[in-house]
Amino acid sequence: MRTKTVWESNLPLPLAGRGKVRDIYQVGDDQLLIVASDRLSAFDVILPNPIPLKGKVLTQISVFWFHFFKEVMPHHLITSDVSKMNLPKNMTEEFGEHLEGRSMLVKKTKPFLVECVVRGYITGSGWKDYQKTGHVCGYRLPKGLKQCDKLPKPLFTPATKAASGHDENISVKQAAKIVGGKNAERLGTASIDLYQKGADYADSKGIIVADTKFEFGVPLTLTLSPRGRGEGEGMILIDEAITPDSSRFWPKKTYEPGHDQPSFDKQIVRNYLLKIQWNQKPPAPKLPEEIVEKTSAAYCEIYEKLTGKKVS
């Protein structure tokens, strides 16, 4: 029997926002309840097929990394245990399938309005930019790099955080104009430190983290100016952490530069969409069942490889 999916949650709580994947609810003045659905977006467009267990993987792998990083970077997670969220009993009983294993109660923050991408390998849009210009997000790279080559050192390559439409790669200087120079510097340092710590751990499990994306915010007890500048010393890790939605995971044992790599992430879907030459504009095409099943299996497999646990 096929695993039941959650396309959208509709909890009896004030809806703070509904993103491409997550439904966010207000809980009191300073907390949010984040529910990860099984929706999948590619090229910033939501696809019509839900991916079984995807929301659970995103939540549970993020919880793993939040705990893994807690000694070096505070985070927004309060609990992922529904019984400890102090939600009304009738809500947890009626909407259990929308909560168990796929929800997090978190601290509400004011986010920095840039996405903090770290690239350890040359692939994706970075590879395309390098082929055209020899640069990636303002960095000049050595000549002669092959597709999927490891970079001399990890690069902080921020992107705009688009409410709708496509995110856009920007330079560190452009990021500084958005969040302030000191904050951009702190975001870059924190992002590279977290990436390196996470990549080293994944390497011990036979996994290459080619790139990933972090987001940071400032707790409501600290202040931000309208431009998003805050007390960077008080920033915390928010949203998700090194998931198959926000990262590229490659098997170490088959890694070979010069071509695209097998992956445990949504690159499976991107590759299919590129193959059929979709124009990357809504409406998105329906995915074949084979691609849906392959993607679900890859998400579950990377979770198991990294954590040693099965998705629950």
Q: pLDDT digits over 239-261, tens only?
A: 999 999 999 999 999 999 999 99
**pLDDT for residue 220:** 84
Mean pLDDT of the residues in the chain: 93
Signed CA dihedral, 73, 74, 80, 81: sign only: positive
Average pLDDT over residues 85-95: 94
Q: How far apart are CA 134 and CA 295, in angstroms?
A: 32
Percent of the chain with pLDDT over 90: 88
Distances (CA, A) of 227 to 162, 164, 175, 179, 183: 15, 19, 11, 6, 11
Secondary structure, 3-state, the chain: CCCCCCCCCCCCCCEEEECCCEEEEEECCCEEEEEECCCCEECCEECCCCCCCHHHHHHHHHHHHHHHHCCCCCECEEECCHHHCCCCHHHHHHCHHHHCCCEEEEECEEECCEEEEEEEECCHHHHHHHHHHCEECCEECCCCCCCCCEEEEEEECCEECCCCCCCCECCHHHHHHHHCHHHHHHHHHHHHHHHHHHHHHHHHCCEEEEEEEEEEEEECCCCECCCCCECHHHCEEECCCCCCCCCEEEEHHHCCCCCCCCCCCCHHHHHHHHHCCCCCCCCCCCCCHHHHHHHHHHHHHHHHHHHCCCCC
Residue 232 clears pLDDT 80, i.e. is over it: no
Residue 46 clears pLDDT 60, i.e. is over it: yes
Which regions of the chain carry the CATH code 3.30.200.20?
Answer: 15-109
Which of 232, 209, 197 has the alpha carbon at shortest distance from 114?
Answer: 232
**pLDDT for residue 33:** 98
**pLDDT for residue 1:** 46
**pLDDT for residue 137:** 87
List the structure tokens of 70.
């807690």
CA-based angle 105:297:263, to the nearest 5? 95
**pLDDT for residue 229:** 47
Place of tokens 């102090």: 86
**pLDDT for residue 231:** 46
Whether residue 77 contacts residue 66, with contact meaning beta carbons closer than 8 Å, is answered with yes
Signed CA dihedral, 62, 302, 250, 294: sign only: negative
Predicted TM-score (pTM) of this structure: 0.94
Which regions of the chain carry the CATH code 3.30.470.20?
Answer: 111-254
Percent of the chain with pLDDT over 70: 94
Residue 29 clears pLDDT 50, i.e. is over it: yes
CATH number of 111-254: 3.30.470.20
| CATH superfamily, region 15-109 | Phosphorylase Kinase; domain 1 (3.30.200.20)
